[in-house]
Amino acid sequence: MTAHPAPATRQLASAAEASLHAPSVFNTQPWQWRIAGDTMELYADPDRQLAATDPEGRLLLLSCGTALHHARTALAATGWTSTVDRLPDPTQPTLLARLRLGHAVPADPEAQRMAAAVSRRRTDRRPFGDQPVTGQTLTKLRRFVEAEGAYLHVVPADQVPALAVSTERAAGAQQDDPAYREELDRWTNRPQWRGDGVSPETAVEPALRRVPVRDFAPEGNPGLSADGGIDKGAAYVIVFGMTDRPADLLRGGEALSALLLLATADGLATAPLSEAVEVAWTRHLLTSLLSDLGEPYIAVRLGYPLDHEPLPPQARRSPAEIIRIER
């Protein structure tokens, strides 16, 4: 006879499955979950760290933070409290968080809206249209980012050229690095059964944009057209924190998840832009946009798409690969 999991385990397993939709650098999905009773532990998967693109593991921690927030959002949306102990054991550096299920409460309506956006959210590399993102919308996004322990800098129009230059120079430096090119090739030519990586179907053709978009199909045919748009109405924001310590980077990922899910729920398209933070000296340029008040974690492009055709689905790993349930 097969034993059925306890209610707490079922709730946590469902939350962990929601986290499979979380965004991650190159869609590496560098996390693992371990569930035992009413407790769920989040582990980083160092084998999925990008040695050339992310040598310090900053983006790995951000990625794991997005998975943690996705799981927390799923629990809140179904009416469960939870407590999180981040980096609970210094002797286990890959153990990033220990989440304990609390008790049943009325479901959080905003969490329900965000949870409904989990499966709809996509990184949209296509150009955005002329309709501007309102200041009221950006203020709401900032509140949610700050509630997760990070900060949001809205890039003013006179700083957008500096963001563009930083991104372009970082991309140029990376293209001059054979190790980066090999890494990009490996993660954009993944067998379908692996359920990870960036498919050329989701890449966009190179075109003039206010801020460049990474070319994920340098040797092939990108699946998305730029359609002549230049992101005229797009808003650019930078998620940042006070330090680049692991705990702050993890929270930065949680804040990024909150930003992306809320934006999606409110009808915006989103696209993280990480090139400028992947190269140390261009990351310093972004720090100057923050008036040297913090450490930039990632930039994000927000806006209303010109093309309303559904985006191709992003590859996802199977729950069995990522979630381990202790019986």
Q: Are residues 144 and 107 in the same domain?
A: no
Q: Are residues 253 and 152 in the same domain?
A: yes
pLDDT at 286 exceeding the cut of 80: yes
Give the pair of three-digit tokens for residue 44.
């980083």
Q: Are residues 148 and 89 in the same domain?
A: no
Q: Are residues 115 and 215 in the same domain?
A: no
Q: Are residues 184 and 36 in the same domain?
A: no
Residue 126 lies in a domain: no
pLDDT at 142 exceeding the cut of 60: yes
pLDDT at 207 exceeding the cut of 60: yes
- Confidence at 5, pLDDT banded by 50, 70, 90: low
Q: Are 307 and 227 in contact (CB under 8 A)?
A: yes
Q: Are residues 46 and 173 in the same domain?
A: no
pTM of the model: 0.96
From 248, 293, 300, select the one nearest 274 (Cα to Cα). 300
**Partners of 34 in the beta sheet?**
41, 324
Beta strand segments in 194-309, E: 235-241, 269-273, 295-303
Residue 127 lies in a domain: no
H-helix or E-strand spanning residue 100 = strand 95-104
Q: Are residues 148 and 295 in the same domain?
A: yes
pLDDT at 187 exceeding the cut of 90: yes
Q: What is the CATH number of the domain that holds 50?
A: 3.40.109.10
User: Which residue bears the tokens 């499979």?
Assistant: 20
Q: Are 225 and 205 in contact (CB under 8 A)?
A: yes
Q: Are residues 80 and 154 in the same domain?
A: no
| pLDDT at residue number 2 | 41
Residue 240 lies in a domain: yes
| pLDDT at residue number 3 | 44
- The dihedral formed by the CA atoms of 24, 156, 230 and 276, expressed in degrees to the nearest 10: -40
Mean pLDDT across 84-97: 97
Q: Are residues 112 and 18 in the same domain?
A: yes
| pLDDT at residue number 159 | 98
| pLDDT at residue number 257 | 98
Q: How far is CA 165 from the centre of its chain?
A: 23
From 109, 125, 123, select the one nearest 24 (Cα to Cα). 123
Residue 208 lies in a domain: yes
Tell me the three state secondary structure of residue 237. strand
Using one digit for the tens of pLDDT, what is the confidence trace for 14-72?
999 999 999 999 999 999 999 999 999 999 999 999 999 999 999 999 999 999 999 99
d(CA 213, CA 130): 18
d(CA 10, CA 20): 16
Residue 105 lies in a domain: yes
| Tally of domains within the chain | 2
User: Which residue bears the tokens 């990480």?
Assistant: 274
For 99, the domain range is 7-120+318-325
Mean pLDDT across 106-128: 96
Using one digit for the tens of pLDDT, what is the confidence trace for 259-285?
999 999 999 999 999 999 999 999 999
Mean pLDDT, the chain, integer: 95
Q: Give 327 or 26, the one with higher predicted confidence.
A: 26
Residue 2 lies in a domain: no
Residue 268 lies in a domain: yes
> Tell me, what DSSP letter sits at residue 204?
B
- Confidence at 169, pLDDT banded by 50, 70, 90: very high
Task: Indicate if the alpha-carbon torsion angle 310, 315, 319, 320 is positive or negative.
Answer: positive
Q: Are residues 247 and 290 in the same domain?
A: yes
Q: Are residues 74 and 148 in the same domain?
A: no
Q: Are residues 297 and 171 in the same domain?
A: yes
| pLDDT at residue number 1 | 33
pLDDT at 128 exceeding the cut of 80: yes
pLDDT at 138 exceeding the cut of 60: yes
Q: Give 225 or 234, the one with higher predicted confidence.
A: 234
Residue 129 lies in a domain: no
Mean pLDDT across 193-210: 93
